[in-house]
Amino acid sequence: MTSNVIVMTTSASVSTGSQDAPTRAGTVTDRLVEANERYAAAFTDPGMDARPVLRVAVVACMDARLDLHAALGLQLGDCHTIRNAGGVVTDDVIRSLTISQRKLGTRSVVLIHHTGCGLESLTEDFRTELEQEVGQRPAWAVESFRDVDQDVRQSMQRVRTSPFLLHTDDVRGFVFDVKTGLLREIDAAA
């Protein structure tokens, strides 16, 4: 007779099965799907449409230390959130902002970079490393930077000069301090 066992490992995986049969390791994604099932069980349709209540789009770094909704006092439905490595304004960010403004009514853009960003330690040589490893050079730029304030200014300039965006008068940039949780506004003209 075999018994079912549950094995927990330090990598947060879970496996179940009989002692004689191969086990299937649970993944972080499995954990997220289970959390979604619990969420959905209590979910009620908030009755919102896709237009952000505050008519703002926030562009920020994907860094896991930034809880944008908590840091900015935002609720579900308040804003569009566009995140990428560094929070830099790329062609894809302009694409998302254009749709956000032209089809979903946003009027303001808030850009948020942060202290201790991983892009400060990279260079465009990363693309060469990838080319050597996989045999193909990425079409995208790394968008690394050394001066976070200057990179915020560059991102503000890219938004303000995009011919595709209708609303470029309320574009503000900030640096989030990951140690204090405070935003520091960046002057576009400095």
Rounded distance between C-alpha atoms, residue 184 and residue 116, angstroms: 14
Asked if residue 51 belongs to a domain, the reply is no
Please tell me whether residues 89 and 179 are part of one structural domain: yes
Q: In this predicted model, what pLDDT tens digit does every residue of 92-115 receive, in sequence order?
A: 999 999 999 999 999 999 999 999
Task: Classify burial at 86, counting beta carbons within 10 Å of its beta carbon; exposed 0-12, middle 13-18, buried 19 or more.
Answer: buried
Residue 125 pLDDT class (50, 70, 90 cuts): very high
Please tell me whether residues 30 and 62 are part of one structural domain: no
Asked if residue 115 belongs to a domain, the reply is yes
What CATH number corresponds to the domain at position 62? 3.40.1050.10
3-state SS assignment for residue 13: coil
Q: In this predicted model, what pLDDT tens digit does every residue of 140-177 receive, in sequence order?
A: 999 999 999 999 999 999 999 999 999 999 999 999 99
46-to-7, 49, 75 alpha-carbon distances in Å = 39, 9, 12
pTM above 0.75, yes or no: yes
Asked if residue 119 belongs to a domain, the reply is yes
